[in-house]
Structure 1
Amino acid sequence: MVATISVSSPNSTLLKNPIYLKDSSSNFVGGSLKGLCLNLKPRQQRRDSINFVAASSSTAPSATTSNSNGRFYFNITGFPFPLGPFLNRLTIRTEAVKGSIWLFEQEQALGFSSVSTNIRMTVIKLKSGGLWVHAPIAPTDECVQLIKELGAPVEYIVLPTFAYEHKIFVGPFSRKFPRAQVWVAPRQWSWPLNLPLEFFGIFRAKTLKDEDLSTPWASDIEQKVLSSPEVGIGPYVEVAFYHKPSRTLLVTDAVIFVSRQPPECINKESLLASAKNGLAVKILSKGKEVPDEPVVDNKRNLQKGWERMVLQILFLGPSNLLEPNASFEQMSEKLIVSPIVKTLVFSKVPEKVRDWVYSISRDWKFRRIIPAHFAAPINASRSDFRAAFGFLDEFLDDRYDTWPSLSLLFSSIKGKAASYFPPDDMRTLSSLDQFLVSVGAVKKTVSGRKR
């Protein structure tokens, strides 16, 4: 999600019976699929112009030493593509805030392609002593063990979005922690069939409500819901959370931060495969001659593989995969809204998005952001968060031309640069948007002006 803007559901031949297999230790493992998202190993980062920093982890990543022990997870479902890894998922745990927030990350691969991303689960220790789990990932034995090592019971499991790649793991994860309460974002739906939550193994779930102070974690964590039914075939729903003791904002797909180096959870083989000059590179080479040469294992090719992955995930069809560095530099080391989410979702409902962003930045004095993909945690202020949404001015009518304060006006101006995406890279995504509008899958800008 990066941000995925549509929900996937299991393909039709598997709709009647979810798949559950037993691994070598006789534990049930839910068959599932994973969607499009990225992450980066938390590292100290610096961006000179606006001073974003991806905060360094206070502890080293924890994982078992075996490549397969405790990492089995059978995964074949998904629309439009089955997403891997299909049998083996490494889990990496880092401590984002000492003694209170931990990040758990796994790799995701787009079908049988060489494009891999990451997905992130965030675990917060509440004042009650229990654990609050945000956007659960595949509950492999390794993942479950890393959670148990925290020495606290899982009390709440939270699905903060409608998106399938996060939803698919909630049921299997909750069966590993049967005493935990499950909470889900409102207006859950799936495509191409709108299936009930029970189909995904999610039972007796409670619904998250906007600014609900009656939740059992309200003294620790607040929440704000963005729900936009007008986007297209289904609503876009995302719930933002604010952990008050650590001043941390949690989002799913709203913003991302692409670091220059690849995430640790993506294996070397995937990066080297992406560095090869295959069919996609030849198509997106701007007519230049594409050398057909073996890819050696070195730092340069690993970096090239990462840059190609990022551009394909953000733009679907970037303008030049042969030489990706220039476009990658435009997209990395800054807090942004994913081009996919910007184009297919947020541009359709600019007023609702801006009201949500303004409410978050007005009420919550956060100093770091943890998205579900790409780098985290990100040291960023409320002004930085608003700046990432500066592009909304293009879609708002005259009533929204003036920001409520000078600080917000400055954020809007700064956001113009933060939300600049290379026009050549945006062509495929813009064409897709026009096609989806023409067939009614998504709508034109619902309100405001179009430029």
Structure 2
Amino acid sequence: MARVPGAAAMRETPLHASVLGSSFNAKLVAPNSSSGVVYGRNGFFDCNLSAASAECEFFCRASSAGELCSPSSRVSILNSTVRRGSRASGRVLASAVEETGKSKSGGRFYFNVTGFPFPLGPFLSRRTIRTEMQRGSIWLFEQEQALGFSSVTTNTRMTVIKLKSGGLWVHAPIGPTDECIQLLKELELPIEYIVLPTFAYEHKIFVGPFSRAFPKAQVWVAPRQWSWPLNLPLPFLGIFGAKVLKDDELVTPWADEIEHKILSCPEVGIGPYVEVAFYHKASRSLLVTDAVIFVPDKPPSVVSKEALLDAARNGLAVKVLSAGKEVPDDPIVDNEENRQRGWERMVLQILFLGPSNLLEPTQSFRQMSKKLIVSPIVKTLVYNKVPDKVKIWVDSIARDWKFKQIIPCHFSGPVAADARVFKAAFAFLSDLVEEKSGSSESPLSSLVGFFGRAAAAVTYPTADMKTLSSLDNFLVSTGAVKKTVSGKKKK
């Protein structure tokens, strides 16, 4: 690998690898010589300038000593008017570098207006970020995911694992834009399997078009797939020839490398709740869809600046959810403070639907961020209804798999967490299961269990849970979902 002297000083965290298609916002650092270094967010170009061209090599910031990101990192920028020793050369080179990145990445266009009653955005364009989680064997692909006609946005993640066969195993496919397909093809490995690990619409909608982009790949789906308001067969949703995952790992062709366990709860309500957890033995990674999340302090890089600033504006939602306080109508300036406020507001709406105070979100945000948790929505509407079944699933994962990290489909990933941390996120299940079964432990065992769960349990802000509790009561009253095991345990 070619190296640049002093490049080690450019290092960042290992997960921030080269991202094709990003805007480089480049500038020429050394315009008064025959070579220059063009810096960007994800790496830098080292270029030799001439009167008619610039020969450049792109180096990852994440590399240990300024290594080339890939064999295709060498680019030639021709037919540019580059004048040595002038400010103009920096501008021309920066422009050429940015255009080169765009042309290599392919397009981001993806038309999506499906989803009743709330379609998922972005409707026309999806940026894809690829990071290399484990060198040469595991890659993470992320796109922005928004609730249509709102300012609520987060990330959705696809995990790609190289199997011993040399092919790729794709977990929870994302929108197959030209950019996404190009980033996959650059791995120069065939896609063998495409896996839908859930019933959830936001992951299901991409399986059909993704599989058509890779027609030789086998499609595997979680059991008990359904759709609403019409429960249509998978072929009507564009998913053809899919095989169904079962609890017996031996039926899958990758079972010796990746195991799975199925949570299937047909008795929850409108339709069954289904999620399949996977364990990649070689990397000791647990892959989940929505079972647990880890909300980062800062927004994921794929979430756009425009979305963050839009959420920071004091619009109608903020005025309604302001805890009765006066809401200023100040214009929004693009700065870190406003972007952070936008992110905190987004998170609280994703977690609670109607948090108590969007005007001042920081206190609730800090209570729910930077720890492994169960989403309040999933806890209230699903896990509280069938705690015994969920607990069996969680306990079997913690008992049988020696994972050291978790890769969810949303928010942060991978998250450093073992079985103890995973079980702690579900500490609320124990009380619900005990109350349902009416079990009678010895006083000492009961006391030890109580304090152990109290130390591990995540506390959900009571005021923020009110909207979810009201929604739950409404759905129960209409018969759409079943009752929580105990009315005392809804928080």
Same fold (TM over 0.5): yes
Counterpart amino acid of residue 430 in structure 1 = S
Q: Which residue of 2 aligns with 1:419?
A: 458
- Measure the CA separation in 2 of the matches of 1:288 and 1:269: 26
Q: Which residue of 1 aligns with 2:305?
A: 268
- Measure the CA separation in 2 of the matches of 1:295 and 1:221: 47
Q: Cα offset for 1:198?
A: 0.6
Q: Cα offset for 1:413?
A: 2.6
The answer to whether the 8 Å contact 1:390/1:411 transfers is: no
Counterpart amino acid of residue 243 in structure 1 = H
- 1:2-401 correspondence runs (5 A): 57=15, 59-63=17-21, 65-66=101-102, 69-397=106-434
Q: Cα offset for 1:222?
A: 0.2
Q: Which residue of 1 aligns with 2:44?
A: none
- Measure the CA separation in 2 of the matches of 1:183 and 1:199: 16
- Sequence identity percentage: 69
Counterpart amino acid of residue 57 in structure 1 = L
- Measure the CA separation in 2 of the matches of 1:206 and 1:346: 27
Q: Structure 1 residues 416 and 319 mapped into 2: Cα distance closer, same or farther (>3 Å)?
A: farther
1:436 to 450, 469, 475: 475
Q: Cα offset for 1:231?
A: 0.3
SS of residue in 2 equivalent to 1:92: strand
- Measure the CA separation in 2 of the matches of 1:266 and 1:415: 35
- Measure the CA separation in 2 of the matches of 1:185 and 1:393: 27
- Measure the CA separation in 1 of the matches of 2:113 and 2:382: 28
Q: Cα offset for 1:449?
A: 8.4
Q: Cα offset for 1:411?
A: 11
SS of residue in 2 equivalent to 1:253: coil
- Measure the CA separation in 2 of the matches of 1:322 and 1:197: 43
The answer to whether the 8 Å contact 2:385/2:483 transfers is: yes
Q: Cα offset for 1:82?
A: 1.6
Q: Structure 1 residues 74 and 233 mapped into 2: Cα distance closer, same or farther (>3 Å)?
A: same
The answer to whether the 8 Å contact 2:20/2:102 transfers is: no
- Measure the CA separation in 2 of the matches of 1:94 and 1:402: 49
Counterpart amino acid of residue 98 in structure 1 = R
SS of residue in 2 equivalent to 1:124: strand
The answer to whether the 8 Å contact 1:334/1:418 transfers is: no
Counterpart amino acid of residue 87 in structure 1 = L
Counterpart amino acid of residue 435 in structure 1 = F
Q: Cα offset for 1:107?
A: 0.4
The answer to whether the 8 Å contact 1:436/1:442 transfers is: yes
Q: Deviations over 1:172-230 (max 9, x none)?
A: 00000000000000000011111110111101100001142231101110000000111
- Measure the CA separation in 1 of the matches of 2:412 and 2:321: 27
Q: Cα offset for 1:96?
A: 1.3
Greater displacement, 205-214 / 415-424: 415-424
Q: Structure 1 residues 416 and 430 mapped into 2: Cα distance closer, same or farther (>3 Å)?
A: farther
SS of residue in 2 equivalent to 1:252: coil
Q: Structure 1 residues 412 and 198 mapped into 2: Cα distance closer, same or farther (>3 Å)?
A: farther
Q: Deviations over 1:390-433 (max 9, x none)?
A: 01123113556879xx9xx7798356554210000000000000
Q: Deviations over 1:129-177 (max 9, x none)?
A: 0000000000001000111111110000000000111000000000000
The answer to whether the 8 Å contact 2:279/2:403 transfers is: yes
SS of residue in 2 equivalent to 1:173: helix
- Measure the CA separation in 2 of the matches of 1:378 and 1:178: 32
Q: Which residue of 1 aligns with 2:30?
A: none
Q: Cα offset for 1:114?
A: 1.2
Counterpart amino acid of residue 144 in structure 1 = I
Q: Cα offset for 1:301?
A: 0.2
- Measure the CA separation in 2 of the matches of 1:372 and 1:402: 38
Q: Which runs of 5+ in 2 are unaligned?
A: 1-11, 23-100
Counterpart amino acid of residue 478 in structure 2 = V
The answer to whether the 8 Å contact 2:141/2:159 transfers is: yes
The answer to whether the 8 Å contact 1:58/1:97 transfers is: no
The answer to whether the 8 Å contact 2:268/2:385 transfers is: yes
Number of residues paired by the alignment?
393
- Measure the CA separation in 2 of the matches of 1:115 and 1:156: 32
Q: Cα offset for 1:340?
A: 0.1
- Measure the CA separation in 1 of the matches of 2:398 and 2:230: 36
TM-score (norm 1): 0.83
SS of residue in 1 equivalent to 2:421: helix
Q: Cα offset for 1:61?
A: 3.6
SS of residue in 1 equivalent to 2:283: coil
Q: Deviations over 1:320-346 (max 9, x none)?
A: 000000000000000000000000000
The answer to whether the 8 Å contact 2:17/2:130 transfers is: no
Q: Which runs of 5+ in 1 are unaligned?
A: 1-42, 45-55
The answer to whether the 8 Å contact 2:353/2:468 transfers is: yes
Q: Cα offset for 1:128?
A: 0.7
Counterpart amino acid of residue 427 in structure 1 = K
Counterpart amino acid of residue 177 in structure 1 = F
Q: Cα offset for 1:98?
A: 1.8
The answer to whether the 8 Å contact 1:390/1:413 transfers is: no
The answer to whether the 8 Å contact 1:335/1:418 transfers is: no
- Measure the CA separation in 2 of the matches of 1:402 and 1:450: 20
TM-score (norm 2): 0.77
Counterpart amino acid of residue 341 in structure 2 = K
